[in-house]
Amino acid sequence: MAEFLELESQDGVRMPWNVIPGTKQESSNCVVPVSAIYSPIRPLPNITLLPYSPLRCRTCRSVLNPFAIVDFAAKIWICPFCFQRNHFPPNYASISDDNLPAELFPHYTTIEYSQDSQIDQSPPQPPLVFLFVIDSCLIEEEMGFLKSSLSQAFDLLPDNSLVGLITFGTLVHVHELGFAQIPKTYVFRGNKDISKEQLLEHMSFFAKKPKPAGVIAGARDGLSAESISRFLLPKAECEFAFNSVLEELQKDPWGVPTDQRATRCTSTALSIAASLLGACVPGSGARIMAFIGGPSTEGSGAIVSKNLSDPIRSHKDLDKDSAPLYHKAVKFYEGLSKQLVHQGHVLDLFACALDQDSGLAITYQIFLFSIPLHIGILNVTMEFNDWELAASFSFLHLIQSRIPGGVGSDNLCWGLISCMKFLLGLSTVGVAELKIAVERTGGLVVLAESFGHPVFKDSLRRIFQAGDYDLGLSSNGIFEINCSKDIKVQGIIGPCASLEKKGPLCSDTVIGQGNTTAWKMCGLDKATSLCLIFEVVKKESPDATIQSTSNQFYFQFLTYYQHYSGQMRLRVTTLSRRWVAGPGSIQASFADLVAGFDQEAAAVVMARQVSFKMETEAEFDPIRWLDKALIHLCSRFGDFQKESPSSFSLSPRLSIFPQFMFNLRRSQFVQVFNNSPDETAYFRMILNRENVANSVVMIQPSLISFSFHSGPEPALLDVASIAADKILLLDSYFIMVIFHGATIAQWRKAGYHNQPEHQAFAHLLQAPRDEADSIIKERFPVPRLVICDQHGSQARFLLAKLNPSATYNSDGPLPGGDVIFTDDVSFEVFLDHLQRLAVQ
């Protein structure tokens, strides 16, 4: 495992197969695709920045790298990808075996070039542009939270950045911050799409001049700096105007009938914002920061009608294709994403919706069933406050405990699911529809239940914060790929958009953003990770001679981007991986493959793949697909005697993989029905942009136990880990739970930790907090921290994630004294089945 991490810290790459199944047939048998999770601008400890332009191969344009064969005498290098012989240019004349340029150092497989830093020390750095798009259909309280967060965020903006402001509700207000006399806004209709040309005309950009013919894009193309500066102003100049607009910002004044939702034209506002940026600052780094507090009900991107009696689409509706506005909205945002990608601008989404429709509306499913199988499902939609939820939880608990246990036809059981529902308790703002625009542009996304919640507030602060934990927001990235000719690219699952640069490298099978060898990454940051999926096209050939010549595959990843310092940079990562194949050496190659198997990376690739398939393929059964894949993998790489489940064993390289799959099956990525489409979209967006380590936490939360007896130690993600005298820290990426066992909780309630003689207890209480804080500091979006006690209602956050080794069906309560009310199978059962099926 450690070697993979080492590779990652050198190149920012994790691959499930570090030894690649060498033929098409082989690789398809390996179930987990040949793929890589690559973080293009991950800060690497040993990276070098070269102040000159890279040397490129004449034919394939790949960049000179340590894997090139160099003929020092002839001053020639041979490209490892296309085997083209290239001459070194005159400035490489002094090259020799002991005088290598940095890019040829063997361990500089990843290196950065910065072309312009040498030419000019102070290139006019294009200022960063932040266009705030603010929803005004908020309740007063939320508005207050948002205002204070925004004005804080404004202070944190870089001084040279340009700022613009758009607010929207029923109508879209574009604030002309540069108008000195009185506050001035342009008002656009919410239900009418406006093209960029119309916008230019309406905002009288060409009032003083004849309109130039052709495409209008920014100052270079005839738009005067003066008119741009009406809407986008340097931070210092518009501080007063911005703050006064913010201060005066009122709830959308158009009245909302009680049986209706607020009229919210999110899509129009975003489209106007995109057009405004497209007109003013095309091609330079700009972010649209959208703060949205509810579902869009107006315009092309509406996700639900204004009528409150029409429910917001659920996963069920999407599955049955009965969400009438969904496809239209997605189509709209697809168009928007194209526009944004074309302009190189990012859409960041901050969706905070405390459901204004009905408080906390949740779907509360009460399973009513009798043994052996359930008879019916009773769906009850209710509104809950947190305390009400706690009350009903304990009520159900009570009923459950009063029902005679055992087997019988009259056995009534209550299953309470929807735990994730309560995690965020959100209504919908349309993240599912917006996902495409955010993801393609590499935008950030934060989903929280309120603008007053730390999840939002701290996340927003993190974006602008400088220092150790800054996000390293960069922009205008272009990602390109080169690889050996026996490898083809199926596509990328991750925050990028295809530039539709087709080439011989493109595979016919397309996954994610495929059919191209170049991708646009409008926004990218340190954490951004792409999942590249390859296809091995090498045909099985008995001819062993070819194999002997070269059993290496080469990959080169090129990332041009505007570094957050303003510099344009190119990062080049060149990888080489050995491949194994050949019928003659099956056992050997098996061992090789297994040795190069990165279970974490594999789990993450599977997770991204299953999410992607669930989104794109109709009638896709993720559980079945995952189970099949796992069984297939186990039966291929497992060690067993046929038809003997007990003989089954897995190599340590693969041993945790089934557990990852078990948890993935239970995770929010697969079990979507407990979540709203928005939440699912949100989780997936984060999954698709995070690196392997963080993604693994999402799939399989980590659990740390703290007790007097020992220091912090990892605990089994199992209900059995619960103990009265332990504190558990669960990190499921989005949520961190500090769970006090019953005894600890009692002590805490009694306030022992405040007494000097119980300092040890205080330390014990503090330890998980410190641990959580250190995790929270590094994470974006900031996770939600839940501190709860055993048997408390909030404990559900923990219980939902634990392996239900003890349920109400279990024979006896565990020592920890907790059971989980679920019908989900426990990991043991799962493994039993797996073994049984794998050996068939």
Partner 1 sequence: MASYVPPGAPRPASNANNPPSSHPPPNFRANPNSLADNLHNLNFNSAAPRAPSPLPGTPFSRQATQPRPPSGPPFPPTFSHPNEPSPWIVPPPGARPPPFVSSASRGLASNGQPVFASGALPGGQWFPPLGSAPQPPVRPPPTMAMARAPPQPPTATSRPLMGSSLIRAPPVQPASPFSAAPQARQPPTTAYPYGQPTWPLQPGQGAPPPPITGSPQPPRMFGMPPPLPNQSMTSVSSAVGQIGAPVAGASKIDPNQIPRPIPSSSVILHETRQGNQANPPPPATSDYIVRDTGNCSPRYMRCTINQIPCTDDLLTTSGMQLALMVQPLAIPHPSEETVQVVDFGESGPVRCSRCKGYINPFMKFIDQGRRFICNFCGFTDETPREYHCNLGPDGRRRDADERPELCRGTVEFVASREYMVRDPMPAVYFFLIDVSTNAIQTGATAAACGAINQVIADLPEGPRTMVGIATFDSTIHFYNLKRALQQPLMLVVPDVQDVYTPLQTDLVVQLSECRQHLELLLESIPTMFLENRTAESAFGAATKSCHQLALVPFLQETLKEELTSLQGRSIVLDFQEAHKLLQPADETLKAMAIEFAEYQVCVDVFITTQTYVDIASIAVIPRTTGGQVYYYYPFSAVSDPAKLYNDLRWNVTRPQGFEAVMRVRCSQGIEVLEYNGNFCKRMPTDVDLPGIDCDKTVMVTLKHDDNLKDGSECAFQCALLYTTVNGQRRIRVTTLSLPCTSILSNLFRSAELDTQFACFLKQAASEIPSRPLLLVKDRMTNLCINILLSYRKFCATVTSSGQLILPEALKLLPLYTLALIKSKGLRTDGRIDERSFWINYLSSISTPLAIPFVHPRMVAIHDLNSKEGDQSLVPPVISLSTEHVNDGGIYLLENGEDCLIYIGNSVDSDILQQLFCISSVDEIPAQFVLQQYDNPLSKKLNDLVNEIRRQRCSYLRLKLCKKGDPSGMLFFSYMIEDKSSSGLSYVEFLVHVHRQIQLKMSS
CA trace torsion 663, 664, 665, 669 (10° rounding): 130
User: Are the C-beta atoms of residues 383 and 358 closer than 8 Å to each other?
Assistant: yes
Q: Binder to partner 1 among 73, 93, 119, 182 (CB under 8 A)?
A: 182
Q: Does 173 bind partner 1 (CB under 8 A)?
A: yes
Whether the bond into 372 is cis, omega within 30 of 0: yes
Per CB under 8 A, which region of 195-203, 355-363, 532-540, 786-794 contacts partner 1?
195-203
Residues 6+ apart with CB under 8 A from 43: 472, 526
**Residue count, binding to partner 1 (CB under 8 A):** 29
User: Are the C-beta atoms of residues 177 and 233 closer than 8 Å to each other?
Assistant: yes
Select 2 or 207, whichever has its Cβ closest to partner 1. 207
Q: Binder to partner 1 among 248, 643, 757, 811 (CB under 8 A)?
A: 248
Select 247 or 259, whichever has its Cβ closest to partner 1. 247
Select 245 or 533, whichever has its Cβ closest to partner 1. 245
Tokens describing residue 117: 């830093």
Closest distance to partner 1 from the beta carbon of 246 (Å): 12
d(CA 121, CA 119): 7
Longest dimension (CA), the chain: 89
Residue 660: beta bridge partners?
none
Closest distance to partner 1 from the beta carbon of 286 (Å): 22
Closest distance to partner 1 from the beta carbon of 325 (Å): 22
CA trace torsion 618, 624, 626, 627 (10° rounding): -170
Q: Does 188 bind partner 1 (CB under 8 A)?
A: yes
Residue in 572, 574, 594, 581 with CA at minimum distance from that of residue 550? 581
d(CA 342, CA 646): 57
What is the H or E stretch that residue 648 is in? strand 644-649
What is the H or E stretch that residue 86 is in? strand 85-87
d(CA 128, CA 566): 8
Q: Binder to partner 1 among 36, 111, 166, 171 (CB under 8 A)?
A: 171
Q: Does 251 bind partner 1 (CB under 8 A)?
A: no
Tokens describing residue 470: 């800054």
Closest distance to partner 1 from the beta carbon of 199 (Å): 8
Q: Does 145 bind partner 1 (CB under 8 A)?
A: no
Q: Does 179 bind partner 1 (CB under 8 A)?
A: yes
Per CB under 8 A, which region of 253-261, 318-326, 519-527, 727-735 contacts partner 1?
253-261
Select 186 or 597, whichever has its Cβ closest to partner 1. 186
DSSP 273-314: HHHHHHHHSTTS-EEEEEEE-S---SSTT--S-SBTTSPPP-
Q: Does 214 bind partner 1 (CB under 8 A)?
A: no
d(CA 6, CA 352): 38
For residues 613-630, one letter each, b for 16 or more C-beta atoms within 10 angstroms of the residue's C-beta and e for the rest, the string is ebbeeeeeebeebbbebb
Select 9 or 250, whichever has its Cβ closest to partner 1. 250
Q: Does 211 bind partner 1 (CB under 8 A)?
A: no
Closest distance to partner 1 from the beta carbon of 272 (Å): 11
Per CB under 8 A, which region of 137-145, 198-206, 345-353, 567-575 contacts partner 1?
198-206
Q: Does 202 bind partner 1 (CB under 8 A)?
A: yes
Select 207 or 380, whichever has its Cβ closest to partner 1. 207
Tokens describing residue 341: 């990608």
Q: Binder to partner 1 among 73, 119, 207, 213 (CB under 8 A)?
A: 207
Per CB under 8 A, which region of 145-153, 202-210, 435-443, 520-528 contacts partner 1?
202-210
Per CB under 8 A, which region of 1-9, 200-208, 310-318, 573-581 contacts partner 1?
200-208
Per CB under 8 A, which region of 197-205, 434-442, 491-499, 716-724 contacts partner 1?
197-205
Closest distance to partner 1 from the beta carbon of 280 (Å): 16
Q: Does 309 bind partner 1 (CB under 8 A)?
A: no
Q: Does 229 bind partner 1 (CB under 8 A)?
A: no
Select 230 or 453, whichever has its Cβ closest to partner 1. 230
Select 201 or 237, whichever has its Cβ closest to partner 1. 201
Q: Binder to partner 1 among 99, 107, 122, 208 (CB under 8 A)?
A: 208
For residues 382-418, one letter each, b for 16 or more C-beta atoms within 10 angstroms of the residue's C-beta and e for the rest, the string is eebeeeebbeebeebbeebeeeeeeeeeeeebbbbbb
Residues 6+ apart with CB under 8 A from 640: 647, 648, 649, 835, 838, 839
Q: Binder to partner 1 among 87, 192, 749, 763 (CB under 8 A)?
A: 192
Q: Does 240 bind partner 1 (CB under 8 A)?
A: no
Q: Does 397 bind partner 1 (CB under 8 A)?
A: no
Q: Does 254 bind partner 1 (CB under 8 A)?
A: yes
Q: Does 244 bind partner 1 (CB under 8 A)?
A: yes
Residues 6+ apart with CB under 8 A from 547: 22, 581, 582
Other C-beta atoms within 10 Å of 233: how many? 21
Residues 6+ apart with CB under 8 A from 417: 365, 367, 674, 822
Select 209 or 316, whichever has its Cβ closest to partner 1. 209
User: Are the C-beta atoms of residues 316 and 441 closer than 8 Å to each other?
Assistant: no
Closest distance to partner 1 from the beta carbon of 434 (Å): 25
Select 58 or 192, whichever has its Cβ closest to partner 1. 192
Per CB under 8 A, which region of 31-39, 137-145, 168-176, 656-664 contacts partner 1?
168-176
Closest distance to partner 1 from the beta carbon of 427 (Å): 24
Please give the single-letter amino acid code of residue 197: E
Select 208 or 709, whichever has its Cβ closest to partner 1. 208
Select 174 or 839, whichever has its Cβ closest to partner 1. 174
Among positions 4-43, residues that touch partner 1 (CB under 8 A) are none
Per CB under 8 A, which region of 86-94, 182-190, 297-305, 601-609 contacts partner 1?
182-190
User: Are the C-beta atoms of residues 733 and 703 closer than 8 Å to each other?
Assistant: no
∠394-427-193 over CA atoms, to 5°? 175
Q: Does 194 bind partner 1 (CB under 8 A)?
A: yes
Q: Does 198 bind partner 1 (CB under 8 A)?
A: yes
Per CB under 8 A, which region of 173-181, 279-287, 651-659, 750-758 contacts partner 1?
173-181
Please give the single-letter amino acid code of residue 110: T
d(CA 648, CA 442): 44
Residue 520: beta bridge partners?
478, 497
Q: Binder to partner 1 among 184, 501, 613, 636 (CB under 8 A)?
A: 184
Closest distance to partner 1 from the beta carbon of 253 (Å): 5
Q: Does 189 bind partner 1 (CB under 8 A)?
A: yes
d(CA 124, CA 122): 6
Contacts with partner 1 by CB under 8 A lie at 170-171, 173, 176, 179, 181-189, 192, 194, 198, 201-204, 207-208, 244, 247-248, 253-255
